[in-house]
Homo-oligomer: A and B are copies of this chain.
Amino acid sequence: MHHTTLKDIAAKLGVSTSTVSRALQGHPDIHPETRELVLKTAREMNYQPNAFAQNLKKKRSNTIGVIVPQVKHFFFAEIMAGITDVAYRAGYNVFISQSNEDYQREVINLQAMVAQRVAGLLTSLSSSTTSCSHLEALVQRGVPLVCFDRVCEGFKGVSVIVDDYDGAFQATQHLINRGYRRIAHLAGPQNLSIGHQRFAGYRDALVKSGRPYDPSLVVFGGLNEEDGDAGFKQLLKQSPQLPDAIFCVTDPVALGAYQNIKQMGLKIPQDIALVGFSDNPIGALIDPPLSTVRQPAYEIGETAAKTLLDLIEHPESIEKNQTIVLKTTLIVRQSS
């Protein structure tokens, strides 16, 4: 497998590589006639520039790296779709890797990508990550980086998130308006802002409507289905009587609870109402359909990617500490 190089073209045409290089990039120094000639032979010889050499010379690549906890989660898959689409249009390639919710692996992946000299980084934290210092260190070193969805509280850098607090507030208020009294919360990790903000929204909605905040109705756990399963069981143990509604930190968690409730022979929403977070398409198809807070996943990916590209190409034009907040919308279905 032989790749034609600048030198090959130059030799064939009897000109120098400099000329060929310049002709190819449309440099004004080159005579239109020779430029056309070069372009033509380049096409004929199926020339494709060697990216290694270009990157080595320019000291940068056109590749961005993405690290997500798990690709198989619909939410992240959809975000990935947004990212790859934007990157594709801008002529960038996308490295992907998953941390599998493991902090160690997150760090290693991060290192590997930096070692590969990616032009920029897009990350969403694993649920076992308790600090953003590893990210902030990179930002310090000048690596363009934007965090999306899962961030640490008070992260110093640019991030794209949704209005978790408001979403949670709306959801809880909705349950209150519906007349539910014992509203429980299966909460996420408090080291991540999504966990913390959603919890805060839940609590404040209660307090604002004059209800007490009852810690026995809250269980802190993870973000996946098995966490919902475990969380619900824990809730049964720790609470003196059954809740009549549960607001869950994510849809997977809600689904974990969902199955428990059904297995217990209880009716949704008559016995227990349920609201999730993130609008997994699965929620619309189950019976009864799951109420949820919609986050625009694809758009998150798009915005994060666009912001990163800005950060790479026009670093001066961008506020280095901003957090872009996208809107959430409450979707009421039969489960509440």
Could you list which residues of chain A lie within 8 angstroms of chain B, going by C-beta atoms?
A: 1, 3, 48-53, 55-56, 61, 63, 70-74, 77-78, 80-81, 84-85, 88, 93-98, 100, 109, 111-117, 141-143, 255, 258-259, 281-282, 285-287
Q: Which residues of B contact A74 (CB under 8 A)?
A: 72, 74, 77
Bound together, the chains give a CA A93 to CA B50 distance in angstroms of 18
* Chain B residue at smallest Cβ distance from A56: B52
Most buried by B among A56, A100, A113, A114: A56
Q: A93-B116, A112-B93, A114-B48 are in contact. Are A77 and B84 (CB under 8 A)?
A: no
Q: Which residues of B contact A78 (CB under 8 A)?
A: 72
The answer to whether B1 and A143 touch across the interface, beta carbons within 8 angstroms, is yes
| 8 tightest Cβ-Cβ pairs between the two chains A and B | A1-B142, A52-B56, A287-B287, A48-B115, A77-B77, A52-B55, A72-B77, A282-B282
Please tell me how many copies of the chain the complex holds.
2
Bound together, the chains give a CA A142 to CA B51 distance in angstroms of 19
* Chain B residue at smallest Cβ distance from A105: B88
Q: How many whole Å from A104's CB to the nearest CB in chain B?
A: 12
Q: A77-B77, A95-B95 are in contact. List 12 more A-B contacts (CB 8 A).
A: A1-B141, A48-B114, A52-B61, A53-B56, A56-B56, A72-B78, A84-B98, A85-B100, A95-B96, A255-B285, A258-B285, A285-B285
Q: Which residues of B contact A109 (CB under 8 A)?
A: 88
Bound together, the chains give a CA A151 to CA B203 distance in angstroms of 52
Bound together, the chains give a CA A259 to CA B51 distance in angstroms of 48
Q: Which residues of B contact A53 (CB under 8 A)?
A: 52, 56
Bound together, the chains give a CA A3 to CA B88 distance in angstroms of 28
The answer to whether A70 and B81 touch across the interface, beta carbons within 8 angstroms, is yes
The answer to whether B95 and A94 touch across the interface, beta carbons within 8 angstroms, is yes
Bound together, the chains give a CA A78 to CA B93 distance in angstroms of 21
